[in-house]
Amino acid sequence: MIDILKIEIAKIVRSKSFLWMIILLSASISLTLLGEYYFIVTNKNEQPNLVHLIYSLYAVNATTFFPLIIAYFFISVLNDEFKLKTIKILFGSIMDRETIYMAKFIASAVIFVSIFSIMILASTVLLSIVTDINRINIEYYAITYREALWRIIITTIIGEVYFLCIGSYSMLIDAIFENQGVAVIIFFMTVLLCSVIPLPQWLTNYFFLKGQTFFAFLDMFEFDWLEFMKYVALFIVYIAAFSGIGCFIFSKKQI
């Protein structure tokens, strides 16, 4: 599996989808932070808050831009094999199809988490320079810079697990339809319909798109570890389910 992962990571890094993911994530993060910083300085006449800025970054992008960028990236990783007809070579190799599918997902996950973590780290460092780290608050409650960093790290971790859930679902869709455009549209429609159509409370509590509000952990007055673990466990279950179904469908493909 390690050798396959190395091959898949090398293929992804050379792909256009990898470059586009970096460009789109960079644009979303930089434009959001610049816009929020400018708005606070010019309209509220106050010093921007590190926690507030990172919260705004997630609040603006977590339900729209980030999921779409991630869906595009994970879909492209699998779809490139269908589009370039190299899927026949993979199916003709000694590796079983389930291993191939999981290698692609894990490689995509490793690359995404690495890039996203670096971008959030860079953003946090930059914001720490341009904001007053001695005056950080959650509403009227002052917190230390160390606690602010800890909250940002924890929130980013749960966000990345949620985004991997999005990635596993997106890759599953592409495994079914073998069409990048169709897969992106279906993913977008899933998000749109779930936002418009009211769902029963019991379903809302256990649906994977519940993770759209993961950034709420960042400005909780008292951090709820139990709720945090529930979120993480829920996303891991969905990742396992989507990946398992994807492996099964991929193994039954007739090429």
pLDDT above 80: residue 47: no
- pLDDT reading at 85 higher than 80: no
CA torsion angle for 184, 188, 189, 193 (degrees, to 10)? 160
Q: What is the pLDDT of residue 242?
A: 95
Start-to-end Cα distance in the chain: 23
Percent of the chain predicted with pLDDT > 90: 48
What are 88's two structure tokens?
A: 């026949």
Q: Which residue has the tokens 């699998």?
A: 78
pLDDT of residue 137: 82
Q: What is the pLDDT of residues 201-246, one digit of tens each?
A: 666 667 777 667 788 888 877 777 888 888 889 899 999 999 999 9
Q: What is the mean pLDDT of the chain?
A: 87
**Residue 203 confidence (pLDDT):** 67
Q: Report, as an integer, the average pLDDT of 58-82.
A: 90
32 pLDDT tier (thresholds 50, 70, 90): very high
**pLDDT value of position 43:** 77
Burial of 38 by CB count in 10 Å (0-12 exposed, 13-18 middle, 19+ buried)? exposed
- Please give the pLDDT value at position 202: 66
